[in-house]
A and B are shown apart, each in its own frame.
Chain A
């Protein structure tokens, strides 16, 4: 045991002798781990948020397609669905988009059903009369409005309509309501000039969630021009979007991984003349090959463990304390009303373990293998070369 402590002590002294080079390796290595871990933390948290929140959504959404495009669904489409065994309720949803050319943003306008009378996470009153609306925090902040103010919107007939804001969604619901405007359903139909016998789609609630796939097939059978979307598919969409192996986030991870590979390759392709001479001297004064390998193992382990721990702590601070400020623009894209959200920490220990294995092991291998090559060579020729 004492021998290993002494080897570690010597390894640290050896690292400190080349502190410029080793410090730069440590910084690059730490930043690489921090980038990879930030992507892992961010995507894991967003997936957790989406899964937890959207699990309360409709079990099945039934859209109608015409000529391959989404079309308003007739309300009588709800009748054959209601008759299917296992269906609890069918609720027509009236919603659509409103493009504001001034702010270059698509607002989501939603008709409020008669039930329930009290909405959760809403400050102020539920819109009930014709010219009343409730808006998300993102809209209020962007336009500088609050409860009691009025918002001017242009309806389908091109007429200017002034709506009084009676309610404002609480900050905690930004991820869901940031760009949302709630209207009384009848008023939204009038605003969009939507016929009273049509809805945007149908939200179906079922008794047994395990029957959703079968019910979706039955809906397709009875209504061939429909497109049922199950809750599993909705959750799967977000699971795929925020998976660290998908899209843009994969690009960020890959860039960091490639940087790490270059670093490791540089280490693996050879050791410096100084290091070679040092190994030769150690062998000449009586060190065994195994001692040299143990020394290099401790050197590699010291650098990689410090880089892994520091990188992971940095990533945690970046993601959960500073709201992933460096990665958020990658996800934000051109979104004008991107919500501010406090990410709730979510750590998959398995992923963290894989990250550790992917970064620590190759680095140690890249440190030990070239040293082993030098250590098995004759000390005299090593020192002379």
Chain B
């Protein structure tokens, strides 16, 4: 049964390694909190709203500030030219109100 035991040992080793990586990740996130605090302060000082990820077009640089139809403003039916546009899905509508229909007992 040496094969089974060896296999079980390898499986345990990989499981322990994965758990150690995940725990290390949690610890790293706790350490990172100091850096995030600094970045939050900078965001607060400058009033930033977006991450500096996509600088190829104006509407991809500040995705939270751009209109949904921004890529198509240049002409009717204009395609979205930039690859970042493929990553950005249309925002889901967030309804502020809810309508509930409650059946009333008939008064007979």
Contact = CB atoms under 8 A, between A and B. Distances in A.
A306 B15 CA distance: 10
B65 A331 contact: no
B45 A347 contact: no
Query: Helix, strand, loop or mixed for chain B's interface?
Result: helix
Interface string A30-55: 00000000000000000011101111
Interface in B6-48: 7-8, 10-11, 14-15, 17-18, 21-22, 24-26, 28-29, 32, 35-36, 38-48
Contacts of A174: 52
A342 to B, nearest CB: 9
Given A56-B41, A309-B15, A61 B49 contact: yes
Given A241-B63, A334-B84, A121 B21 contact: no
B75 interface: no
Nearest to B84: A333
Contact of B64 (A5, A49, A172, A229): A229
Contact of B39 (A61, A176, A312): A176
A337 interface: yes
A312 B19 CA distance: 11
A320 B63 CA distance: 26
Contact of B65 (A63, A177, A339): A63
Contact of A121 (B7, B14, B28, B38): B38
B102 interface: no
B76 interface: no
B4 A9 contact: yes
B51 A335 contact: no
Interface string B55-92: 11110111111010000010000000011101111011
Interface of A: 5-6, 8-9, 12-13, 48-50, 52-58, 61, 63, 68-70, 91, 93, 97, 104-108, 110, 112, 116, 119-121, 136, 138, 172-180, 182, 201, 203, 213, 229, 233-234, 236-238, 240-241, 246-249, 302, 305-306, 309-310, 312-313, 316, 320, 330-331, 333-339, 344-347, 349
Task: Report the 8 A-B pairs with minimum CB-CB distance, sorted nearest first.
Answer: A345-B25, A333-B83, A56-B40, A56-B43, A309-B14, A9-B4, A234-B64, A178-B52
Interface of B: 1-5, 7-8, 10-11, 14-15, 17-18, 21-22, 24-26, 28-29, 32, 35-36, 38-58, 60-65, 67, 73, 82-84, 86-89, 91-92, 94, 96
Given A53-B36, A333-B56, 12 more contacts: A9-B2, A9-B4, A53-B43, A108-B62, A121-B38, A175-B39, A176-B39, A176-B43, A241-B89, A334-B56, A334-B82, A344-B29
